[in-house]
């Protein structure tokens, strides 16, 4: 586990240092900016999908789905971050009782 | 977001005492809000198979919420930890763009860059780029960055220790915490049609590839959707030149 912790930490730090030290020219490139804007959207959506609907290598629907649906409701009601997470956990736990 | 152009940035703040108070107050408020998020990170990480020490090292050294959640999510699902590290790095790319924007705004001396770089995150960027004067932008960046760093790390430790005492995190529904956290991070980015389409497509690509590739890799494949959509010759909507950071913790 340590190698992954160190590699992830180092690479994220290096990205930050490179960004703050580079000339601004890259920011004027519309395509680069467009990819940069869409990258977190695609990654977060894929993380949500896989962590909600799959276990190991198969689609697997369980109580998590109810928890995440409840989280969508909480977000729609503009609930603060921690409330969204607690609602998701609580609903998932209750479904497992 | 109407961030002021750098050429128009005032070198001195006309209302300094008032500006200073409000910037510091906001910084502490954002730090506390992020602490709540750090509590859930500590909990999820230490129930995903990482030790409390590893959990705390991530918050100190990686210090970027979405990347940290992504890494422990892949590890918790039984994926290759290095696949998780790759996902974390890809999510961290946006901090590089924030840094480029902040460099011109803050005009840091080179010797401060290694320290400032670690504090380049969604919150410190969002707070700095909306200021009208350079002193206010600098104060907002440092105060928010330091405040979030302190609260985030303290909360990580508390969450990690508390959750480590649990026997089966599934009983408490903790396996739903990470996707719920990602949803809260994603939803403010979905106001326009294009990111919504990219999100749906990325989720589809990930789900379809799950049976065929190692755990964690579907998320990396989904990143390709963003690259393809981003380099298309004629985007429907021009990209936001500010590289807009959101107000939610990430």
**pLDDT digit string (tens) for B82-132?**
999 999 999 999 899 899 889 988 999 999 999 999 999 988 998 898 888
pLDDT value, residue B6 = 45
CB contact under 8 A, A15 and B92: yes
Yes or no: say if B163 and B47 are a contact pair by the CB < 8 Å rule.
Answer: yes
Please list, in sequence order, all residues whose beta carbon lies within 8 angstroms of the beta carbon of residue B112, skipping any fewer than 6 positions away.
none
B68 is written with which tokens?
């940290």
Its ipTM equals 0.88
Answer yes or no: do B198 and A45 touch at CB < 8 A.
Answer: yes
Q: Report residue B186 as tokens.
A: 């994603």
Element (H, E) at A55: strand A54-55
Q: How far is A94 from chain B (nearest CA, A)?
A: 8
pLDDT given for residue A8 in this prediction: 97
User: Is B193 near chain A, with CB under 8 Å?
Assistant: no
> CA-CA distance, B136 to B138, in Å (whole number)?
5
Record: contact B199-A2, CB cut-off 8 A: no
pLDDT at B233 over 80: no
How many Cβ pairs closer than 8 A exist between chain A and B?
326
Residue from the list B223, B229, B231 with its beta carbon closest to the beta carbon of A43: B223
Q: DSSP character for B59?
A: I
Packed helices B16-46 and B122-129: angle between N→C axes, nearest 10 degrees: 160
Main-chain dihedrals φ then ψ at residue B76, nearest 5 degrees: -65, -30
CB nearest B202 (choices: A20, A46, A96): A46
Of B74, B72, B130, nearest to B105 (Cα)? B130
**pLDDT for residue A72:** 97
Phi, psi of B87 (to 5 degrees): -60, -45
Low-confidence ranges of chain A (pLDDT < 70): none
> How far apart are alpha carbons B249 and B66 in whole angstroms?
9
Question: Which pLDDT band holds residue B141 (cuts at 50, 70, 90)?
Answer: very high
The pLDDT value given to residue A69: 97
């Amino acid at each position: 586990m340590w190698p992954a912790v160190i590699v992830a930490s180092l690479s994220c730090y290096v990205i930050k240092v490179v960004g703050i030290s580079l000339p601004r020219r890259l920011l004027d490139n519309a395509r680069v900016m467009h990819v940069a804007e869409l990258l977190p959207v695609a990654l977060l959506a894929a993380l949500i999908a896989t962590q909600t609907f799959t276990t190991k290598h198969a689609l697997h629907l369980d109580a998590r789905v109810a928890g995440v649906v409840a989280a969508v409701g909480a977000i729609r009601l503009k609930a603060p971050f921690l409330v969204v997470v607690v609602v998701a956990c609580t609903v998932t736990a209750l479904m497992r009782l | 977001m109407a961030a002021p152009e750098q050429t128009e940035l005032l070198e001195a703040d006309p209302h300094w005492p008032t500006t200073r108070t409000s910037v510091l107050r906001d910084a502490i408020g954002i730090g506390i809000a992020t602490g709540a998020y750090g509590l859930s990170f500590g909990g999820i990480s230490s129930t995903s198979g990482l030790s409390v020490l590893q959990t705390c090292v991530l918050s100190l050294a990686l210090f970027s919420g979405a990347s940290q959640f992504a890494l422990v999510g892949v590890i918790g699902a039984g994926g290759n930890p290095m696949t998780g590290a790759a996902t974390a790095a890809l999510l961290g790319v946006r901090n590089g763009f924030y840094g480029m924007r902040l460099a011109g705004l803050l005009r840091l001396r080179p010797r401060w860059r290694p320290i400032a770089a670690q504090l380049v995150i969604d919150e410190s960027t969002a707070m700095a780029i909306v200021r009208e004067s350079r002193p206010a932008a600098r104060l907002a960046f440092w105060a928010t960055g330091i405040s979030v760093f302190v609260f985030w790390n303290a909360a990580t430790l508390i969450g990690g220790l508390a959750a480590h005492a649990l026997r089966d995190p599934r009983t408490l529904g903790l396996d739903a915490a990470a996707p719920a956290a990602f949803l809260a991070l994603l939803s403010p980015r979905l106001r326009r049609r294009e990111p919504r389409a990219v999100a749906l497509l990325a989720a589809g690509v990930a789900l379809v590839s799950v049976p065929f590739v190692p755990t964690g890799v579907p998320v990396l494949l989904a990143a390709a959707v963003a690259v393809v959509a981003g380099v298309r010759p004629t985007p429907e909507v021009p990209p936001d030149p500010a590289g807009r950071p959101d107000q939610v913790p990430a």
